[in-house]
Structure 1
Amino acid sequence: MLLLLAACSPWPGNAEVVHSERSLYRNIMVEDKGDLRCLRFNVKQNKSNQSCLYKSQPQQLVFNYTKLLFSGLMLNSKPGSILIIGLGGGTMSNTLHQLYPKARIENVEIDPAVIKVAREYFGFFENERVTATDQDGRLFIKRALMKKQQYDWIILDAFNGEYIPEHLLTREFLLEAKQLLSDKGILTSNTFSNSGLYAYESATYYDVFGDYFNVRNNKNENRIILTGKQPLPDIQTLGRRLPALDRQLKPFGVDIKEIFAHMTLASQERDWPQDTRVLTDQYSPANLLNIDK
């Protein structure tokens, strides 16, 4: 079971609270401000928008980081099976179902209350191909491995209100996720460029996957780590895939050409110290959040 993304975008004042409840994990609020509806969590007195939609145009994506996640389609443009760890309002799942109505999409969310709110207030769509399971994401992946399941795309978007849960940051977890990928499978992870854990995350992903793409822009501090089971294609190959993807994603407000322009290979930047320690199940990163950047 997991939580969701922390897309920390400013929220305008004078919002109307249309729903509020205390779950086992957090305070959950749904607030409206004009045409914008947002799911918010209150953790340790801080509030952050977790998922938003335009009520008049629910197809249009609101958050920058959500758009950046679609960079994954440059590596695999026809995913038949998708695993999303962290539901939020279900925006990513809904969009992917519209793009790939025949794909199997499994959403995993730690908090049953979040799933309920996504259904009731954000139009989270489910059918025989789109499902939601209230379970810890790592436990789900362990069980999926036992069942010998595989996915073409794994999206890691789980947050505990402050940061990614520590058991979803480690080398052991990422190795499990990598085993769950199909031969052409890809993985995208929503994280941040300004975290004290930046170097540790970078070193850990590089240790498990080898090279990866950093996907980010100047709109906020989100960083998407994009990688896969196979060696990554070069930038020229990705560029040739842009026209078709651009037509596919424009209706959702995703400018894939602009995203592509800001993609860089970790091996070419290598912006973490060589001696950075890899995160493991025995080496907890929790206290590192306070390290000065």
Structure 2
Amino acid sequence: MFIRSVIFGLLASAMLASAAPAQDTRKLLESKESLYNNIYVYDEPPYRSMTFGHNRRIYTESVYNTKDERDLPVSYTRFMTATLMYAKDVHSVLEIGFGGGRTSWYLHKFLPDMKVTSVELDPTVLEFAKKYFDIKEEPNFHVANRDGRLFLQESKDKYDIILVDAYRGPFVPFHLLTKEFYQIVKDHLADGGVVAQNVEPSTMLFDSAVKTINAVFPQIDFYKADGNIVTIAYDGPEKKPEDLATTAEARDKAFGLRYSLKDMLAERRRIDINGGQVIAADAKVLTDDFAPVEALKTIERHNRKMP
């Protein structure tokens, strides 16, 4: 079991939320101010990174190895793929928050028969992903320019895996952290489906985020990835380690995955969410502060940058 002080001592330098000074020694390929982000693309061969500027700081959103398109240099993105050993089937995946598209592209390359759909709010992010990160439309690989929550609310499709990796600087947009949002996610999971979310643990919202996920999904596993925590949540009884190991070994072999599911399984942690040792006992479940009809009208406005 994680001990709270140990977690936060080890994770204080989270990659997504660790801020670097605005000056950067890498080569700036292009920058653009969009409606939602200040976006910078840097080159430091063989790596290329997409970063977002927020409050005079720069946050790394995606890193691409230009010599190896199947590489996942950012460790938490590898653990997002651990969902492959949890899902009953692996026919379809939805990713909310695209960035440079490395996680979804990795899944597409190793599971070309699986339908991969990604949703990205910012059209400039999509523009840069195609221009600098070698992302392109292919059979079974599609990227939609839409807010992730609105996309789900308007969709009738169900998915075996849903990945939530949308960030604004160090924070997940609030409307993607509420009980109502996770209920929408749950309603769009196929039988035996699973959801993973990258949650930065050093912010004040971490405890409430975990409690909110648990309010909809009774099972949550934790994977520590450098400074991030990847939560994998699902319905039904707890999946036993031996069953996960069997599935991991079979799918490692079937798909020839670059990053072994069985190796990732060794990092799995279960905690007592309501015990008060790791997750604060008084952490609140996050809920929408407006009616659903009002949410539909205001999400686009709330997504925009603060003045």
With the shorter chain as reference, the TM-score category is 0.7 to 0.9
Paired residues of 2:177 and 2:209 also in contact (CA < 8 A):
yes
Q: Displacement of 1:216 after TM fit?
A: 1.1
Q: Which amino acid aligns with 2:266?
A: A
Paired residues of 1:60 and 1:251 also in contact (CA < 8 A):
no
For 2:201, which of 193, 197, 208 is the aligned residue?
193
Q: Displacement of 1:23 after TM fit?
A: 1.1
Paired residues of 2:17 and 2:170 also in contact (CA < 8 A):
no
The residue that corresponds to 1:279 in the other structure is 286
The residue that corresponds to 1:206 in the other structure is 214
Q: Displacement of 1:250 after TM fit?
A: 6.8
Give identity over the alignment, percent: 28
Partner Cα distance (1:81, 1:251) in 2: 17
Paired residues of 1:94 and 1:125 also in contact (CA < 8 A):
no
Partner Cα distance (1:153, 1:167) in 2: 20
How many correspondences in the alignment?
273
> Which stretches in structure 2 are left out of the alignment for 5+ residues?
1-14, 291-307
Partner Cα distance (1:233, 1:43) in 2: 39
Partner Cα distance (2:93, 2:199) in 1: 19
The residue that corresponds to 1:286 in the other structure is none
The residue that corresponds to 1:41 in the other structure is 52
Secondary structure of the 2:281 match is coil
Of 77-86 and 47-56, more deviation after overlay is shown by 77-86
Paired residues of 1:183 and 1:229 also in contact (CA < 8 A):
no
The residue that corresponds to 2:75 in the other structure is 64
* Distance change >3 Å, CA 10–CA 282, structure 1 → 2: closer
* Distance change >3 Å, CA 102–CA 250, structure 1 → 2: closer
Partner Cα distance (1:238, 1:269) in 2: 24
Secondary structure of the 2:128 match is helix
1:117 and 2:128 correspond: yes
Secondary structure of the 2:239 match is coil
Partner Cα distance (1:95, 1:260) in 2: 19
* Distance change >3 Å, CA 249–CA 201, structure 1 → 2: farther
Aligned pairs (5 A) from 1:154-233: 154-217=162-225, 220-233=226-239
1:102 and 2:110 correspond: no
After superposition, the C-alpha distances for 1:46-94 in whole angstroms (9 at most, x for unaligned) are 1011111111112111001101111111112741111100011111121
Partner Cα distance (2:261, 2:19) in 1: 24
Paired residues of 1:106 and 1:132 also in contact (CA < 8 A):
yes
After superposition, the C-alpha distances for 1:222-257 in whole angstroms (9 at most, x for unaligned) are 1111012333311121122333344467753x2434
Q: Displacement of 1:103 after TM fit?
A: 1.6
Partner Cα distance (1:241, 1:10) in 2: 38
The residue that corresponds to 1:92 in the other structure is 103
Paired residues of 2:273 and 2:279 also in contact (CA < 8 A):
no
Partner Cα distance (1:245, 1:195) in 2: 35
Secondary structure of the 1:127 match is coil
Q: Could you state the TM-score of these two structures normalised by the residue count of structure 2? A: 0.82
Secondary structure of the 2:170 match is coil
After superposition, the C-alpha distances for 1:70-123 in whole angstroms (9 at most, x for unaligned) are 111111274111110001111112111112212211111110010111011101
Provide the aligned C-alpha RMSD in A. 2.4
After superposition, the C-alpha distances for 1:101-146 in whole angstroms (9 at most, x for unaligned) are 12211111110010111011101131242111111111111101xx
Aligned pairs (5 A) from 1:245-264: 245-247=251-253, 252=258, 254-264=259-269
Q: Could you state the TM-score of these two structures normalised by the residue count of structure 1? A: 0.85
Q: Which amino acid aligns with 2:16?
A: A
1:7 and 2:3 correspond: no
After superposition, the C-alpha distances for 1:252-278 in whole angstroms (9 at most, x for unaligned) are 3x2434421221123488422334211
Partner Cα distance (1:225, 1:151) in 2: 18
For 2:245, which of 232, 236, 239 is the aligned residue?
239
* Distance change >3 Å, CA 91–CA 130, structure 1 → 2: same
Secondary structure of the 1:266 match is coil
* Distance change >3 Å, CA 245–CA 184, structure 1 → 2: same
The residue that corresponds to 1:266 in the other structure is 271
Of 238-247 and 50-59, more deviation after overlay is shown by 238-247
Q: Displacement of 1:161 after TM fit?
A: 2.1
